[in-house]
Structure 1
Amino acid sequence: MTIWSDLADVEIKLYYLDANGVKTRVLEAGNGEPLILLHGTGGHVEAYARNLKGLSENFRVICIDMLGHGYTDKPDQPYGIDSYSDHLLAVIQALDLSEVYLSGESLGGWVAAWFAAYHPKYVKALVLNTPGNVNNKPEVMAGLKASTLKAVLEANYENVKTRLEWLMYDKSQVTDELIETRYKIYTQPSYQKAVHNIVCLQDLDVRVKYAWDSAWCSKINVPTLLAWTDHDPTSTVEEAKPIQDMIPNSELVVIKDAGHWPQWEKPEEFNSIVTNFLLKKETRVLSEK
C-alpha cells in the first residue's frame, strides 16, 4: 500500500494559498462541512494520506503544511503555539470559512486546542489526537528535539526512518515511500534553517508559556474528543485525565495497538471515531435548535 494508491480514486486538490503573506501548501478532498487536520512536529500533509478517502465521504477535509513545515513558507522566527494559531487563523480566513471542525495530532492537537480557546467563533468541535507530552517531561522533550535535529541536519535514509519509527507502535508501518517523502522535505535548504525554530517548543523556557493549563483550556466551549493510544511514546493513557479535566465536557477514547500516529496505523478506526463523534455532535446541535 502506498500513499498514492490510497488516494488513486479520491478527487483531491493540492494547491498553495496566501495565508497573510505565508505561502501555504494545502491538500483537500470532499465537499461537506470543513474539517481541518493539523500534523505534528516535523510533519506535513502526507501524515493524513490514509484518512482523506474515508473522512472525505462526510467532510470537506483540509490538510495543511503548518507554519515552517513541509513546503509551506518558513519565516525566520521561533514557532510558538501562538504563531501556529495565527497561521491557522490566516488559512481559515483565506479559505473564507466561517466555522470548521478541527483535529490535530501531537503538536497539531496542542495548536487546535489553543486555537479553540482563543478563537472560539471559528470552531464547531475538536478532536485532539495524541496531543503529546502534556506533562512537559524533560526526557521526552530532549529526545524529540535530538531526533528531529538529527533527522534533518544529518538527513539520510536511516535517520529519517528512525524518526518515523519513533511515531509507530508497528514499525513496519514506516514505508520506503513515507521515508522518501519526509527526506525530500527535510533536505530543503529552507527546512535545514527552520528546524531550529520548529524545535524551540522542546525548550522548557519557551514551552512554559503555552503549557496545558486550565486557565486557557477552560475557555474551550465546543464538544471535544481526546483520542489517546495505549503505546504513545510521549504520554500514557493515565496522563490524559488531567487534560480531560481541564477541558469542559470533553470525552476520551483509547485506540489500542497504536503509537503516536493512530491516524496512520489505524486509519479505519481513526476515521470512524472522528466521523461518529463529529456527526453525533452535529445531530445534537441541530436537535437543540
Structure 2
Amino acid sequence: MSIWNNLHDLEFKLYYIDANGIKTRVLESGQGEPLILLHGTGGHIEAYARNIRGLAEHFRVICIDMVGHGYTDKPNRPYGIDYYSDHLLWVIQALDLKEVYLSGESLGGWVAAWFAAHHPGIAKALVLNTPGNVNNKPEVMVKLKESTIKAVTEANYENVKTRLEWLMYDKSQVTDELIETRYKIYTQPSYQEAVYNIVYLQDIDARKQYSWDPSWCGKIDVPTLLAWTDHDPTSTVEEAKPIQDMIPNSELTVINDAGHWPQWEKVEEFNNVIIDFFTKKHAVL
C-alpha cells in the first residue's frame, strides 16, 4: 500500500502557514470538529498517511510537521516540550481555531498533554498514543538518540530503514516508499543541523524539566485516553499506569500486535479508538 494510494482520490490540501514566524507544513482533510495529529521524534505528516481517510469522515483532520521536523522551519535552538507546545499554540492561532481535539504519537502525545495542562480551554479531549519512555529509561534514551542521529547524519537506505523498523512490531510494514520519504526529509541540509536540537530531550538534564509529573499532569481537565500497545519498544503497558494515575479520570486502552506506531500498523483499530473516544458524549463539550 502506497502513501499516495491512501490519498489519491481523497479531497485534501497540503499547504504552509506562518505560525508566529515559523513556516509550518500542514495537511488537512475532512469537515467537522478540528482534530490535530502530532507525530513523534524525527517524524512528519506522512506518519499518519494511513489514517487521514478514515478520520476525515468524522473530523476536520489537521496534521502538521512540528517545529524542527519534516518540511517545517527549523530554528537553531533546543526543542523542549514547551517550545513544541508554543508552536502548536501558534498553529492553532494561525488557523483561527478556538477548540480542538488533540492526538499525538510518542513525542506528539507528550506535547499534547503538556499543551492541555498549560493552555487550558483549547483542547477538548486527548488521545495520547504510545507517549513512550515515560520513566526516562537511560537505555531507551541512548538508543533513540543514537539511532536518530545516525539515520540523519549518515543517511542511507539501511540506516533510515533501521530507524523505522525500531518503531514497528511487524517490520514488513516499513515500506520502501516510507523509507524514501523519510530519507528525503533527513537529507535536507537544515535537518542535518536540526537533528541535534531534536534529540535535546534524550539528555536527562534537559528531559527532567518536562518529565511526566502530577504537578502538571494534574492540571489536565479534559477527557484523556492513553492508547498503549503490547509491543512498544519504549515502555510496557504496566508503565502506563503511573501516567493514568497522574491525569485525572484518564482511561487506558491497549492495541495488540503493534509497536510504537499503532496508527500505521493497526489502522482501522487505531482510527476506531480515536473516533469512539472523541465522539463519546462526555468528550463533546
Output the TM-score relative to the length of structure 1. Answer: 0.98
Residue 166 of structure 1 corresponds to: 166
| Structure 1 counterpart of 2:157 | 157
Q: Which residue of 1 aligns with 2:22?
A: 22
Q: Distance in 2 between matches of 1:269 and 1:136?
A: 28
1:203 maps onto 2:203 in alignment: yes
Write out per-residue CA displacement over residues 50-87 of structure 1, whole angstroms, 9 at most, x where no aligned residue: 00000000000000000000000000000000000000
Counterpart of 1:95?
95
- 1:78 alignment partner, SS class: coil
Distance, in Å, in 2 between the alignment partners of 1:212 and 1:245 is 11
- Could you tell me whether the CA contact under 8 Å between 2:124 and 2:283 is conserved in 1? no
Partner of 2:282: 284
Q: Which amino acid aligns with 2:2?
A: T
* Whole-angstrom CA distance in 1 between matches of 2:119 and 2:9: 35
Q: How far apart are the structure 2 equivalents of 1:200 and 1:39?
A: 17
Q: Distance in 1 between matches of 2:106 and 2:155?
A: 22
Whole-angstrom distance in 2 between the partners of 1:134 and 1:231 = 15
The corresponding residue for 1:266 is 266
Report the Cα offset of residue 120 of structure 1.
1.3
Alignment partners' CA distance in 1, 2:13 and 2:118: 29
Kindly report the root-mean-square deviation, in angstroms, between the aligned alpha carbons of the 2 structures. 0.8
Q: Residues 285 and 152 of structure 1: is their aligned pair in 2 closer, same or farther, counting only changes over 3 Å?
A: closer
Structure 1: distance between partners of 2:261 and 2:282: 29
Give the superposition deviation at 1:153: 0.2
Count of residues in Structure 1 that have an aligned counterpart in Structure 2: 285
Q: Distance in 2 between matches of 1:96 and 1:200?
A: 30
Q: What is the distance in 2 between the residues matched to 1:22 and 1:51?
A: 26
Return the letter of the residue paired with 2:67.
L
Name the CA distance, whole Å, in 1 between partners of 2:47 and 2:120.
26
Matched residue SS, 2:199: helix
Distance 1:130 1:285, change over 3 A: closer
Residue in 1 that maps onto 2:118:
118
Q: Deviations over 1:157-191 (max 9, x none)?
A: 00000000000000000000000000000000000
Q: Distance in 2 between matches of 1:168 and 1:250?
A: 26
Runs of 4+ with deviation above 2 angstroms: 283-286
Residue matched to 1:193 = 193
Structure 1: stretches of 5+ with no match in the other structure:
none
Identity %: 80
Alignment of 1:1-289 (within 5 A): 1-280=1-280, 283-284=281-282
TM-score by length of 2: 0.99
CA distance in 1, matches of 2:227, 2:41: 18
Q: Secondary structure at the match of 2:209?
A: helix
Instruction: Specify whether residues 221 and 187 from structure 1 end up closer, same or farther in structure 2 by C-alpha distance, changes over 3 A only.
Output: same
Q: Which amino acid aligns with 1:158?
A: E
Rounded Cα–Cα distance in structure 2 between residues aligned with 1:285 and 1:13: 27
Where does structure 2 lack aligned partners over 5 or more consecutive residues? none
